[in-house]
Structure 1
Amino acid sequence: MAAGCASHTAQIIDRDGAVVSTADILLEVEWSRTLDDISTARVLIAPDADCCASLSRVRSWRHKLAIYRDTAPVWEGPITAPEWTADGVDISAVDILGWLDRRVPHTDQAFVAHELTEIAAWLIDDGFAPDDPGHTVQIIGPSRIRGDRAYQVDVGQTGDHLRDLAATGIDYTALGSKIIILPEDHYARVGSLTDTDFSTPLVVAEDGLALATRWVIHGKDAVKGEAGGIHPYYGLLERVVEETSILDDISAQAAARSRLQASSPAPVFIDSQEATLAPDAGVDVAALVPGWCVDVTTTQTCRTISQSLKIATVKVKENSNGETVSLQLTPAGV
């Protein structure tokens, strides 16, 4: 279904799988998909006499919000902030990754020269092992980066460990109850867009503050990796960070290369505040998953872009004015 042409419904679902309430009358709906972090959703429900009693029983973390776009499931996750007012019930939620910010490692584990996507899958599965809300993990492809990592029982939040791993060569995103892990250099395309596919003029921006031509990564103890140097065009711009979760030089070098790829040349992107799709945009909204790419051509500014851009964030809103779909697109690195 094209952007701007759909309507939404929602359900409140108990942790045992039973439907607590069906929200057919939605005054406002917002949901998103985010790369390498937790996404959020919100619905404002106008309860009728039949569902008001059931909505009074909604509780944070016990129940999850499930959102459907023209009957197709597009988002779900635990409710974190229900509010009851005279005008309706306002429910905010986070996606399934939100649970991992409330989980810790449950077993001691040391990885030596191990594929990073498999380490990520272990973190997720271990985090959910004692009390699984119902998750699956899908690895799209190997990162081709192997490294050493060690985790200790009850040390650090699992979500933080996963974000640290994403800084060294992998990506991940939540799609319903599924957590997708993919290599950072995954460039599969899900569509093409031009100026006419956006409802407002695009803003092309260059993030010069993110530019770096040399990265140095310090891991635990004396572990160190570096990538880049003096750039023939930009000169020398150096960045140093500490990643104590990295235990070997090879992983540190891979992390440095990953950061260099994302920061040199200066990232050029389409401003997320302006990248709202037109109602007749030739792209399937359900297929807009962070980590995949769209080919974008824009010629309406002095800075022409014709390249593959990676989807970083998808935001969908529906209210009395209709539906809007916005994208944050970042350089794909190819």
Structure 2
Amino acid sequence: MVELGCPQEYRAVVHWRGGARPFTSPAVSSLVEVGWNRTLNDTAESTIQIAKGQAGEECCGLLGLIEPYAHELTLYRDAELVWQGPVTRTVESRASFTVEAKDMTEWLARTVNLTALRYVSANPADPMHRGPVQEIAQTIIRLNMESGPFASAPDWPSMLAYIVRQDDPVVTSFEKDGSDDTSAWIVPILQILDDELVPRGLEYTTVGRSLVLGRPQTTGDPAQARLTLDHITGDVQIIRDGASGATLVWVTNQTDQEISGTQFGVSGVVSQVYGRLDSLVRTQAEGLTAYDLGQLARASYNGRFPVPTSLSIPQGSSLAATAPVSMQQLVPGVRLDVSATGMCSSVTQPYRLSDFDVEWTEAAGEEVGVSLIPIGEPYTGDPP
């Protein structure tokens, strides 16, 4: 049976940009502390601390030559590559050398968009046709990185071959300011994902070098693992929060000063259990159609019906080594089922993994902290 397990060691390798050619690797015995995480719709980070006295003179000299963004940090948990991304900062003290890095989405945060954003064509032959929001995200990344007058080389971060998609079946139409079909929106690519595509149903994360462009998981997706409270160390809380629930989600571009000529979108169900329970979202984004507003409402509805029941894992809690899930399966966004037996609520709930943080020290070993968010689905039988 698969278990999270306890690693025998962590190993760090500094590569040249691109992740293929090694630059240096401090001895395992000199690696004092390792921290890394994976997260959903955000940039993950990693830090290693090296004891200079145990690293040796030659390694120390190479550590002093590490250049942010020219080099990348790679972490191995035993033999498994678990994290990779560009070095962003180094800090040297008398006794230690610290390397800080961010995951591969950092390249998207440091690359400004130079392409027009007009994905409205119904013709599949059009390279900027409408389609799944994940395909649109990949196209924006590819058009900016595969070539261009400001690129030092095609795909200089070496990330296009490592994009993995799980498409939403819904076709998305997206443009930025429909009054102009040629102008580029001069913002970092990551801001386009965060501001425009995530609200339309995109989810992104990284695993090693791979950039995962996915969609919100539902109860129709298979669970990667089924956990019980025996697999979680520390206390837990079961919270049923009515403030987060809704049967209908409305999104409108109306303002308090202007209500004429505006539009709205709505998503949800007519519930006999809760009656009418509305949630209203106002947006000031320009160029949105009623179709766009409906998509935003659909994305905002996820996890609101039924009233979400969350299993809160307080700070300091972590997965036990016996948890029936591997590090490869711990991808932010995937479904994990948790059965909270022995509690008054006796909740068995599907969740999505939001993020997890790993801390390893030579003295204490490894701790894996996780954050989970419930997957909401309509009741199919009598109300509880």
TM-score (norm: length of structure 2): 0.79
Which shifted more, 182-191 or 70-79? 182-191
Q: What residue is the counterpart of 1:58 in the other structure?
A: 66
Take 2:10 and 2:115, find their aligned partners in 1: how far apart are those partners? 41
Which shifted more, 15-24 or 44-53? 15-24
Any gaps of 5 or more consecutive residues in structure 1? none
Q: What residue is the counterpart of 2:334 in the other structure?
A: 292
Q: 1:158 aligns with which of 175, 184, 189?
A: 189
Q: 1:277 aligns with which of 315, 319, 328?
A: 319
| Structure 1 residues 117 and 55: CA distance shift in structure 2, 3 A | same
3-state SS of paired residue (1:269)? strand
Contact 2:217 2:335 in 1 (8 A): no
Contact 1:66 1:75 in 2 (8 A): yes
Question: Is 1:19 the equivalent of 2:22?
Answer: yes
Partner amino acid, structure 2, of 1:168: R
Q: What residue is the counterpart of 1:149 in the other structure?
A: 175
Q: 1:211 aligns with which of 245, 270, 295?
A: 245
Contact 1:33 1:175 in 2 (8 A): yes
Report matched runs for 1:9-158 at 5 Å.
9-15=11-17, 17-23=20-26, 24=28, 25-47=30-52, 48-49=55-56, 50-112=58-120, 113-129=130-146, 130=151, 131-135=155-159, 136-150=162-176, 152-158=183-189
Take 1:243 and 1:329, find their aligned partners in 2: how far apart are those partners? 30
Contact 1:15 1:133 in 2 (8 A): yes
CA apart distance, 1:9: 0.8
Q: Deviations over 1:57-104 (max 9, x none)?
A: 112222111111112100111111211112211122110001111122
Q: What residue is the counterpart of 2:279 in the other structure?
A: 238
CA apart distance, 1:245: 6.5
Take 1:87 and 1:304, find their aligned partners in 2: how far apart are those partners? 51
Q: What residue is the counterpart of 2:289 in the other structure?
A: 248
CA apart distance, 1:214: 3.6
Contact 1:11 1:65 in 2 (8 A): yes
Take 1:163 and 1:203, find their aligned partners in 2: how far apart are those partners? 30
| Structure 1 residues 326 and 300: CA distance shift in structure 2, 3 A | farther
Take 2:336 and 2:292, find their aligned partners in 1: how far apart are those partners? 30
Take 2:25 and 2:103, find their aligned partners in 1: how far apart are those partners? 19
| Structure 1 residues 44 and 257: CA distance shift in structure 2, 3 A | same
CA apart distance, 1:229: 7.8
Take 2:286 and 2:21, find their aligned partners in 1: how far apart are those partners? 40
Contact 2:114 2:186 in 1 (8 A): no
CA apart distance, 1:206: 3.8
3-state SS of paired residue (1:98)? helix
Partner amino acid, structure 1, of 2:24: S
Question: Is 1:257 the equivalent of 2:298?
Answer: yes
| Structure 1 residues 275 and 58: CA distance shift in structure 2, 3 A | same
CA apart distance, 1:304: 2.7
Take 2:243 and 2:166, find their aligned partners in 1: how far apart are those partners? 32
Contact 1:212 1:239 in 2 (8 A): no
| Structure 1 residues 13 and 223: CA distance shift in structure 2, 3 A | farther
Take 1:95 and 1:246, find their aligned partners in 2: how far apart are those partners? 32
| Structure 1 residues 68 and 207: CA distance shift in structure 2, 3 A | farther
Take 1:51 and 1:246, find their aligned partners in 2: how far apart are those partners? 55
Question: Is 1:227 the equivalent of 2:227?
Answer: no
3-state SS of paired residue (2:225)? strand
3-state SS of paired residue (2:332)? coil
| Structure 1 residues 117 and 219: CA distance shift in structure 2, 3 A | farther
Q: 1:193 aligns with which of 221, 227, 232?
A: 227
Partner amino acid, structure 1, of 2:349: Q
3-state SS of paired residue (2:106)? helix
Any gaps of 5 or more consecutive residues in structure 2? 121-129, 178-182, 255-260, 378-384
Q: What residue is the counterpart of 1:179 in the other structure?
A: 211
Take 1:306 and 1:120, find their aligned partners in 2: how far apart are those partners? 34
Which shifted more, 48-57 or 277-286? 277-286
| Structure 1 residues 124 and 207: CA distance shift in structure 2, 3 A | farther
Q: Deviations over 1:16-45 (max 9, x none)?
A: 643222032321111111111111111111
Q: What residue is the counterpart of 2:4 in the other structure?
A: 3
Question: Is 1:324 the equivalent of 2:367?
Answer: yes
Q: What residue is the counterpart of 1:333 in the other structure?
A: 376
Contact 1:212 1:237 in 2 (8 A): yes
Number of aligned residue pairs: give it: 334
Higher strand share: 1
Partner amino acid, structure 1, of 2:288: L
3-state SS of paired residue (1:125)? helix
CA apart distance, 1:295: 1.5
Contact 2:116 2:185 in 1 (8 A): no
CA apart distance, 1:155: 2.0
Contact 2:92 2:98 in 1 (8 A): yes
